[in-house]
Amino acid sequence: MIAVTNQKWLNFLEPAFPLPLRWADGQQDNDPRLPESIRECADRVRTTLGASLNDKDAKEAARYRIWFREPMEGWPDLQSLVFPAGSAFASLALGFFSLLNRVTPFESTWASVQWDDLLLPVEDLGKKVDAALRWQAKSFYVAAKQSLDDLNDEQMAIVRRLPNKPGSPSVGLGDYFVAGLVEPDASDAEACLAYHAAIREVDPLEAAKYYLKVLFRHIARKCRERVFVGAGGSEDLPSVMVTIVTHQIEPVTAIIGVLGIRKVLLLYTASEPQMQSKATDLYRQIKLNWPDCQCDEPVGFHFDTESNEFPGDFVASLRSQIDGFLAGTRDTEVAFDIDRGTTLHKLALCKLIRPDHWMTTLVHPMENRKIVHGAERLMLWRAGDDWTRPFCPLDGVTGDGSAE
């Protein structure tokens, strides 16, 4: 969005006007017809957002340059125009972010924000908002410190302030990015996966809501197609589960949804405050989204993770808690999630598992310490099974595992 401040332009230009641009692949340089200030701003967007990417994604990001929108011909040569273009940072950043994440931006979500280690206000906001209204904008994002004193009621109706968030520009502009991306059709699994991955980068809480609201049914369906059950078949599948809460709580909800777990025991290390918070979050998610699954308040246990000796009293305490939870339940109905917790946690659980118990784990690739959704695979086998016997596809569970 360009606001006209040079009086010599006023004879033939609107007070402010949008410049239709795109990020193009395969170009050595930015479009030479663009003003130098816009080309410089685009370079800042590319390098600043690219700095937070891994090596593979950063290499891809470096390929793109800013150009007029297609068709390539017919655009005016504006390189002689001299004006500050720092306010284009947010808009160019949304376009770049959506390109890298293979998602679609809204044409009706606009912004005018500068970036210099934090979000900064811009000049001539009223002119820009007027132009946005003429182009049917539904929202217009500005920095938290932006003055709105000169705006009228019609302009104020579409203005949205961005909160001050420390961190990268993707984090600072997170609310704008989430609002500026088109949520895909819920039936398109691949588009939903891409959309979730994009918003998870800038707003983990919003991404968690979307995961449960839309993405989970696709995860459950894909996961069920790849579930493999150890020898013994899929009869008497487990309906009760014991798990230790860790930083990754999504695998637990995936197992609950895929297997149709009806009762779960959540254990966590009481000496770690973060684990208590995670356990509470998981407990609330289960109660809200799987009301048919019986889940009591998470149970904390004390475990000295610095000790080199295996704590027998810890195992005894764990046995007491698990035995109480499983009272009256047949061994064939019980699954132990063996992929949660530390190595010593897993060893302690293994001491309590009996041959007719099920053991389960959700195998999933990780990237940048985050689960790559859509590639999960559930493994399920009897503790007493012979490992030389083959696994077979799961065919004993129906439904889509959706969070209700």
What averages of pLDDT result for each successive group of 10 residues across the chain (404 residues)?
Answer: 56 73 88 93 91 73 88 80 89 94 94 93 93 94 95 96 87 93 95 95 91 91 75 70 90 91 91 86 92 91 63 76 92 90 79 91 84 86 71 53 52
pLDDT at 347: 81
12-43: string of b/e by CB count within 10 Å (b at 16+)? eeebbebbebebbeeeeebbeebbbbbbebbe
- Give the side-chain half-sphere CA count within 13 A for 103: 26
- CB atoms under 10 Å from CB of 221, counted, come to 16
Report CA-CA distances (Å) from 260 to 252, 314, 328, 362, 399: 12, 30, 20, 15, 9
Sign of CA dihedral 43, 48, 49, 51: positive
Same domain, 75 and 26: yes
pLDDT value for 391: 54
Q: Give the domain-ending residue among 158, 182, 206.
A: 182
CATH of the domain at 137: 3.30.230.10
Return the pLDDT at 170.
Answer: 86
Domain coverage including residue 252 = 218-393
Q: Are 218 and 192 in contact (CB under 8 A)?
A: yes
339/389 same-domain check: yes
Residue 392, pLDDT score: 58
Q: Which are the contacts of 92, defined by CB distance < 8 A and separation ≥ 6?
A: 21, 41, 42, 45, 66
Is residue 135 a part of any domain in this protein?
yes
Cα–Cα distance measured from residue 233 to residue 224, given in angstroms and rounded to the nearest whole number: 15
Tell whether 352 is covered by a domain: yes
The answer to whether 391 and 246 are in contact (CB under 8 A) is no
- Does the residue 197 lie in any domain? no
pLDDT of residue 210: 94
Same domain membership, residue 379 and residue 253: yes
The CATH number of whichever domain residue 377 belongs to comes to 3.40.50.10770
In a shared domain, residues 171 and 241: no
- The pLDDT value recorded for residue 398 is 47
Bridge-based pairing of strands 139-142 and 370-371 is: unpaired
Tell me: do 166 and 260 sit in the same domain: no
Q: Is position 200 within any domain? A: no
The residues, any chain, with a CB within 8 Å of residue 193's CB and separated by 6 or more, are: 215, 218, 373, 374
Model pLDDT, residue 225: 77
| Final residue belonging to a domain, choices 155, 182, 209 | 182
pLDDT of residue 4: 54
Distance CA 158, CA 139 (A): 4
- CA–CA dist 91, 177 (Å, integer): 9
Number of folded domains that form the chain? 2
- Note the pLDDT of residue 334: 95
Confidence at residue 399, expressed as pLDDT on a 0 to 100 scale: 47
Give the pair of three-digit tokens for residue 375: 């590639």
> Is 290 within the bounds of a domain?
yes
Note the pTM of the prediction, 2 decimals.
Answer: 0.82
Q: CA 221 to CA 147: how far, in whole Å?
A: 49
42 and 93 belong to one structural domain:
yes
Residue 209 lies in a domain: no
- Do 66 and 126 have their domain in common? yes
| Residues 126 and 262 both lie in one domain | no
* pLDDT value at residue 269: 82
* Residue 177 sits in the same domain as residue 230: no
Distance between CA atoms of residues 166 and 353, nearest Å: 46
The verdict on 370 and 250 lying in the same domain is yes
Please indicate, yes or no, whether residues 265 and 360 belong to a single structural domain of this protein.
Answer: yes
Residue 30 is predicted with a pLDDT of 94
Of the candidates 182, 207, 227, which is a domain's last residue?
Answer: 182
| Residues in contact with 381: Cβ distance below 8 Å, sequence separation at least 6, in sequence order | 229, 230, 231, 232, 358, 359, 360, 391
Same domain assignment for residues 145 and 228: no
Q: Distance (Å, rounded) from C-alpha 266 to C-alpha 282? A: 9
Q: What is the pLDDT of residue 115?
A: 93
pLDDT of residue 306: 62
What is d(CA 345, CA 343) in angstroms, rounded to the nearest whole number? 5
The answer to the question of residue 359 being in a domain is yes
Strand pairing of 377-382 and 228-229?
Answer: parallel
What per-residue string of b and e applies to 107-118 under the rule 16 or more CB within 10 Å gives b?
Answer: eebbbbbbbeee
Task: Report if residue 193 sits inside a domain.
Answer: no
What pLDDT was estimated at residue 75?
82
